[in-house]
């Protein structure tokens, strides 16, 4: 994974402990041509991966470190349902009338059987993106997930 201009993701392990992922900052999406550093990270089954914009941690109104600490605290004891976990994060961090836009995505990891996993090696050229879209579309159709 790589960071594209937003704060680092937060991972909550199966033990309920939340921590920031150590990812170097990268350029925002859309700037094109700028280098970024990617890392591969193994997450235990049952972990939560939290991706968010700086509006969630209130960077415009409070120190980012305080906002990040509050986010980690809100994710330390996640609810079983991801929707409830998202709502708890929003309730504890976002004011009634936020001054910035917010986006929050929380996903739970799980182990998939080999037949439910697809992996391809793609060329590092513009045509690689079109090939990735075609391969992904075909695989999703094969799995009955075309919509």
State the Cα–Cα distance between residues 61 and 36, nearest whole angstrom: 28
Residue 115 backbone phi and psi in degrees, to 5: -70, -10
Over residues 96-139, the pLDDT tens digits come to: 888 888 999 999 999 999 999 999 999 888 888 899 999 999 99
Is residue 17 over pLDDT 80?
A: yes
Q: Is residue 20 classed as helix, strand or coil in its secondary structure?
A: strand
Contacts of 86 (CB under 8 A, 6+ apart): 104, 106
Q: Report whether pLDDT(13) > 80.
A: yes
Tokens standing for residue 43: 């997450």
For the sheet with 48-52, list strands across it.
18-20, 10-12, 48-52, 104-108
Contact between 12 and 18 under an 8 Å Cβ cutoff? The reply is yes
Query: How much is the pLDDT for 64?
Result: 80
**Stretch 34-62: mean pLDDT, rounded?**
86
Q: Tell me the pLDDT tens digit for each residue of 64-98.
A: 888 899 899 989 876 678 998 999 899 888 888 88
The pTM score is 0.75
């Amino acid at each position: 994974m790589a960071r594209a201009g937003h704060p680092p993701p937060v991972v909550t392990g199966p033990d309920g402990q939340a921590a920031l992922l150590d990812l170097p900052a990268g350029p925002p999406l859309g700037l094109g041509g700028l280098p970024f550093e990617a890392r591969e990270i193994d997450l235990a089954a049952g972990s939560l991966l939290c991706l968010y914009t700086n509006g969630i941690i209130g960077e415009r109104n409070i120190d980012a470190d305080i906002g990040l600490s509050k986010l980690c605290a809100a994710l330390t004891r996640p609810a079983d349902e991801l929707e409830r976990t998202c709502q708890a994060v929003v309730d504890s961090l976002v004011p009634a009338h936020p001054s910035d836009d917010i986006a929050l995505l929380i996903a739970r990891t799980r182990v998939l059987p080999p037949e439910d996993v697809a992996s391809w090696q793609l060329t590092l050229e513009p045509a690689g993106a079109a090939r990735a879209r075609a391969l992904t579309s075909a695989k999703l159709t094969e799995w009955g997930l075309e919509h």
